[in-house]
Amino acid sequence: MDKQIDVAVIMGSDSDLPVVAETLKIFDKFGIKYSVNIASAHRTAEFVKQCVNNAVANGAKAFIAVAGMSAALPGVVASETVLPVIGVPMEGKALSGMDALFSIAQMPPSIPVACMSIGKAGAKNAAIFALEIIAVSNKAVSEQLLQYRKEMKEQILSKDEKLNKIGYRKYLEETKK
């Protein structure tokens, strides 16, 4: 057996790694154990199946599948497991990621995939969504998520206070630096 993990991340191409790094940074911050693989739904179908089986054997509680263009990877991963699969559509050149978004969002009935937004925001949300899945049975992760949200709230309130104190012109000048 390899290493115990909480989440398996599978991306369709190494060009997806800068976006996937946003997911991994959040997992690192929360102390979440994960695996990362590059596997193509079309070119390495057997390897995708192997990645899924290994992740399940190593204790994964959820999958994040990142793909562009036809974005078949999340659906293929979902077809190999009953664990939750979170799809992240990648921005592409031809259709700006809309093709990937529609491919993930329009899964046929009975093999669901949760669909996040396109690109880095989707990668961050996928990490948070995976943490929420883990938090169902892990009180420590649940408490970390509550603290994370509290910190976000405090940051926004602090920004609001500063905006109202110095005015929008000065605030904009300071944010450009």
29 within 8 A of 151, measured Cβ to Cβ: no
Residue range 7-137 in CATH 3.30.70.380: no
Distances (CA, A) of 81 to 2, 23, 32, 74: 19, 21, 21, 11
| pTM (predicted TM-score) | 0.93
76 within 8 A of 48, measured Cβ to Cβ: yes
**What is the pLDDT, as a whole number, of residue 93?**
84
Give the long-range contacts of residues 147-153, CB within 8 A, separation 24 or more: 148/30
Q: What is the mean pLDDT of each run of 10 residues along the chain (177 residues)?
A: 88 96 98 98 96 98 96 96 98 91 94 97 98 98 98 97 97 90
48 within 8 A of 159, measured Cβ to Cβ: no
Query: How far is the first Cα of the chain from the last one, in angstroms, to the nearest whole number?
Result: 49
